[in-house]
Amino acid sequence: MNKKTLRFQQAVSALLFLAVIVLLGWLSVQFKTEFDWTANQRNSLSAASVKQLGNMKGPVKVMAFAPSGPENRADTAQFFVRYTAVKKDMAIEFVDPIKNPTKVREFNIQQVGDLVLEYDGRRETVRSGDMNEASVTQALQRLSFAEQRFVVFLQGHGERSPVDSGAAGYSAFEQLLKENGFASQPLNLGTTPRVPDNAALLVIAGPSSALQPGETKILLDYLAAGGNLLWLSDPDSPPPPEELSKALGVVFEKGTAIFPEYAAMTQDPSLFLTATYPPTPVTQNLTENTLFPIARALSTDPTAKPDPAWQPQPFLQSTQQAWIETGPLEGEIGFEPEKGDKPGPLTLGLLLSRNLKPAADAPQPKTPDDPVPVGKPQRVAIVGDSDFLTNAILAQAGNGKLGLNVVRWLAARDDQLDITVPEARDQSLSLSPVMVLLLEIGFLVLLPVLLLAIGIGRWLSRRRR
């Protein structure tokens, strides 16, 4: 090969190399690809946040109160890149609190870094120390609904209380509801003899004494008017009055549910643990275990004929090994049908739904194109256990997610079902003292000695040549 041919090939190779570099540079400007290799995808929005943003049809504005200068605003800007990548009409506006004291007072800003989110004329504030995906997405959930409706907790019969911070109270569940856009309030029918009109649903959680006839009448009127209800009934708590059970078409079985398949693991045959659920709106994406310390079984009443009829859907069911123990939980427990025990599978949670008939004064269609009046949808959920939402149990496995899904379903917030933002698993690194010592020895002693040995070895090798 002569020199001219060689130089020509070298020139062509150089031109091709430059062309490849130019092409790669152009492609890097036209297309952008990112990979998130962190545990739990902490640098990407979770599916829950993406779903919430998809439910919000209008623009979202975020006002971030931070001093001027990129160094003061970089973290906030980088944080919201994930949100704006999903929701193109989310705008981030930075406000210098020093130059805009009027806005600081108007939005009740307490410290640098506070955020104000606006959507459809409503506002939510996220404090600077709470700027994380869970807090921001929960604020977006609260902004999604214009009408403030309450989760009303019945009191006065020994029910679980949303203000009780003890192990048997519901204060943690009430806080979970608050974080996800639900306000709550107590109701004592003895002092306020009606369910308020702004109630999204009424919760009756494990009463220890029976309702009075007048209170039963109030609840029947509430159901007849289309009210939504969550009733949590323990084996040792009185079941709803017979008139209410008939109106719902539900039988509250007497006795305690027994689960022998869990006895070896939990040492308690009355404890129900499951990660398998029938396909219902509240459980369709639930994969976590849920725990129910002691439960009663439920069944539908074929003799009840409420009008319109309820459509039942079991969402908690046991295996065939379970049974209803009608005797005391003492000594050796076994299935004894001759003493009234009933075999499984057992229903422990039940969803009921129906459409009420349109009001008599509803406008009737005058032409074939006019809409036909549709009745009001109504929902009821019944669980044979009230312990699973207590402060002592709520954080166990998926109990909080299940309870929140039930409330969302009852409040007709179907588009928020399963929107629960998980915490990143790799936010902190915890090392034992032994592991810290090994790392110190490795980096401060072994690694320098190894590098020194390699250097000495190469030096000796060169001297021998």
Are residues 97 and 130 both part of a single domain?
A: yes
Are residues 128 and 170 both part of a single domain?
A: no
pLDDT one-digit tens code per residue, 142-168: 787 766 789 999 999 999 999 999 999
Question: Rounded to whole angstroms, what are the CA distances from 390 to 155, 164, 201, 219?
Answer: 16, 10, 19, 24
pLDDT one-digit tens code per residue, 39-81: 555 567 777 788 888 888 889 999 999 998 888 888 888 889 8
Are residues 253 and 308 both part of a single domain?
A: yes
Are residues 270 and 314 both part of a single domain?
A: yes
Q: What's the domain count of the chain?
A: 2
Q: Name the least confident of 73-77, 300-304, 373-377.
A: 373-377
- Structure tokens belonging to residue 326: 């009608």
Are residues 114 and 258 both part of a single domain?
A: no
Q: Name the least confident of 131-135, 238-242, 413-417.
A: 413-417
Its pTM stands at 0.69
Are residues 167 and 88 both part of a single domain?
A: no
CATH of the domain at 77: 3.40.30.10
Are residues 260 and 126 both part of a single domain?
A: no
Are residues 122 and 153 both part of a single domain?
A: no
**75-105: string of b/e by CB count within 10 Å (b at 16+)?**
ebeebbebbbeebeebebebbbbeeeeeebe
Among the candidates 108, 142, 176, a domain finishes at 142
First to last CA, the chain: 36
DSSP string, 312-353: EEEEEE--TT-EEE-S-S-SS----GGGT-EES--EEEEEEE
Per the structure, the complete domain to which residue 331 belongs is given by 149-357+375-416
**Bridge partners for 325 per DSSP:** 256
